[in-house]
């Protein structure tokens, strides 16, 4: 098991390129199961979760062809199995995304109940009840969701009790080949949902309303192959911008999309950053100044993303003033706070809110990552610390950030991977 060793106190400066979005790539890979034609998916990030999803395809009998740029060609006409085994699903919740495509294309699917980050309950019952409304026969037994349908799934009017990204994606994929019209109300509006919808449309699906809270899908007889490039990762983009702001730096991130980061960029401006944007780049300059504390509240898109609150907690640790951060999306998402307090931060948790009083600098310490975004925040805390920090259990970070230490080294950070 590797660790990251960080020598703090360096302002980040320079340029980096942003990878494709993991949360877009995973459902798009699952969507390749909807056609017998070849689908080529480009701009995939080099991540453990992507490898897991490709392995899962292999378990189903698909033989993906991967080129040197990690573009993947998938032809699912060779599928022999309809079972997503626990060994793979336990490491990645997104495995449940094969449920809708397998069920609508082949009339059967068996998917282990998912694992992944320990950040609270993410109920799969919404996926199940929506597919049942479309005519699926589903039982949950021995830790597996077992689904089948006689003939085709039927279009249905589905209201999501909670806004769920993977739930919206699963139902949308299932509905593309269902008989008749499916309407998803209270649908997730995330850019990654829109990206999946755009890929499905490129495959011949009839979808409208994506990006709003009502999505309408008219089922078609079959989908066809296409070539599709995954959108840039907004969470990776935001993480590097926050790291630069916390370290009083100046960076430019390229191959990204400012239009889907408005809530994050406005908070960075409140923190004192000068932000300039182009069509596919963002520049941030702190002019060497210490950031100002910001207060924020997470909520589903287009509000402030839950996947960015831990990073802003790290920024607030060394900011001028006090800031409060309220988490409304997941419970149990403040596991980084204890570790930051060990580094000299002044943070207290009150229910689903953390209140941070900024200090001049943190002190390096050995810390342990507990989930993907918490590990990113601990790296930021290490960058703004005096002396040395080690971050253990970094397999979490490899699930969601491509080559994070190399990219930070390009920006001047003193960070390297060492064996435990």
Q: 55 near 92, Cβ under 8 Å?
A: no
Beta strands in 46-112 (DSSP E): 65-66, 72-75, 83-84, 108-112
283-294 confidence digits (pLDDT tens): 999 999 999 999
Helices within 107-185 (DSSP H only): 125-133, 165-176
264-285 confidence digits (pLDDT tens): 999 999 999 999 999 999 999 9
Instruction: Indicate the pLDDT class of residue 115, thresholds 50, 70 and 90.
Output: low
Report the chain's terminal Cα–Cα distance, integer Å.
6
SS3 content of the chain, % helix, strand, coil (to 5): 35, 30, 35
Q: 409 near 402, Cβ under 8 Å?
A: no
195-207 confidence digits (pLDDT tens): 999 999 999 999 9
* R_g (Cα) of the chain, nearest Å: 22
Residue 182 to residues 134, 159, 166, 204, 337: CA-CA distances in angstroms? 9, 11, 17, 16, 43
Tell me, what's the pLDDT at 89?
Answer: 83
Examine the pLDDT at 51 and tell me if it is beyond 70. yes
Query: Which of 117, 199, 226, 317 is flagged as catalytic?
Result: 117
DSSP for 313-344 reads HHHHHTSBSEEEEE--S-SS--THHHHHHHTT
305-345 confidence digits (pLDDT tens): 999 999 999 999 999 999 999 999 887 778 899 999 999 99
Tell me, what's the pLDDT at 333?
Answer: 79
Neighbours of 286 (CB within 10 A): 22
Examine the pLDDT at 118 and tell me if it is beyond 90. no
> Which residues, including other chains, have CB under 8 Å from residue 215's CB and lie 6 or more apart?
168, 172, 183, 184, 187, 197, 207, 208, 209
Q: What percentage of the chain has pLDDT greater than the value 90?
A: 86
Q: Does 117 participate in catalysis according to the annotation? A: yes
Q: 198 near 173, Cβ under 8 Å?
A: no
DSSP 143: T
Instruction: Indicate the pLDDT class of residue 122, thresholds 50, 70 and 90.
Output: low
151-186 confidence digits (pLDDT tens): 999 999 999 999 999 999 999 999 999 999 999 999
Residue 201 to residues 175, 227, 284, 298, 398: CA-CA distances in angstroms? 12, 12, 35, 30, 31
- Sheet containing strand 414-419, edge to edge, reads 366-368, 388-392, 2-7, 414-419
Instruction: Indicate the pLDDT class of residue 1, thresholds 50, 70 and 90.
Output: confident
Tell me, what's the pLDDT at 185?
Answer: 98
Tell me, what's the pLDDT at 119?
Answer: 38
Q: What is the mean pLDDT of the chain?
A: 94
Cα 166 to its chain centre, rounded Å, is 11
Query: What's the rounded Cα separation, in Å, for the pair 292 and 269?
Result: 9
CA angle, 156 as apex, 153 and 160 as ends, to 5°? 115
Instruction: Indicate the pLDDT class of residue 366, thresholds 50, 70 and 90.
Output: very high
> Six-digit token pair at 245?
């702001």
């Amino acid at each position: 098991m590797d660790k990251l060793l960080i020598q703090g106190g360096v302002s980040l400066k320079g340029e980096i390129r942003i990878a494709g979005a993991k949360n877009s790539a995973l459902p798009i890979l699952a969507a390749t199961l909807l056609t017998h034609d070849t689908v080529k998916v480009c701009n995939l990030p080099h991540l453990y979760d992507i490898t897991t999803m490709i392995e899962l395809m292999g378990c189903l009998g698909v033989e993906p062809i991967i080129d040197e740029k990690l573009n993947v060609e998938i032809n699912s006409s060779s599928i022999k199995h309809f079972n997503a085994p626990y060994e793979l699903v336990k490491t990645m919740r997104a495995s449940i995304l094969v449920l809708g495509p397998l069920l609508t294309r082949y009339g059967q699917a068996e998917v282990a109940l998912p694992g992944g980050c320990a950040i609270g309950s993410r109920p799969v019952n919404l996926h199940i009840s929506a597919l049942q409304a479309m005519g699926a026969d589903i039982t949950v037994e021995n830790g597996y969701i077992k689904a089948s349908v006689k003939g085709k799934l039927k279009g249905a009017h589905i209201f999501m009790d909670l806004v769920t990204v993977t739930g919206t994606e699963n139902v949308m994929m299932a509905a593309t080949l269902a008989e008749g019209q499916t309407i998803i109300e209270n649908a997730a509006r995330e850019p990654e949902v829109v990206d999946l919808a755009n890929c499905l449309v490129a495959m011949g699906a009839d979808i409208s309303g994506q990006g709003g809270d009502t999505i309408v899908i008219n089922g078609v007889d079959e989908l066809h192959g296409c070539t599709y490039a995954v959108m840039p990762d907004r969470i990776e983009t935001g993480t590097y911008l926050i790291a630069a702001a916390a370290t009083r730096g100046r960076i430019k991130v390229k191959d990204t999309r400012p239009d889907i980061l408005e809530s994050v960029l406005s908070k960075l401006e409140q923190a004192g950053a000068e932000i300039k944007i182009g069509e596919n780049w963002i520049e941030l300059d702190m002019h060497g100044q210490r950031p100002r504390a910001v207060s924020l509240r997470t909520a589903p898109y287009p509000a402030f993303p839950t996947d960015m609150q831990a990073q802003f907690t790290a920024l607030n640790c060394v900011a001028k003033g006090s800031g409060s951060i309220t988490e409304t999306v997941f419970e149990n998402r403040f596991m980084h706070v204890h570790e930051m307090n060990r580094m000299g931060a002044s943070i207290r948790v009150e229910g689903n809110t953390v209140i941070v009083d900024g200090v001049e600098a943190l002190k390096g310490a050995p810390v342990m990552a507990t989930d993907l975004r918490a590990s990113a925040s601990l790296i930021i805390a290490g960058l703004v610390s005096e002396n040395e920090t080690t971050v253990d259990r970094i397999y979490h970070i490899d699930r969601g950030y491509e080559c994070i230490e190399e990219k930070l080294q390009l920006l001047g950070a003193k960070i390297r991977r060492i064996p435990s």
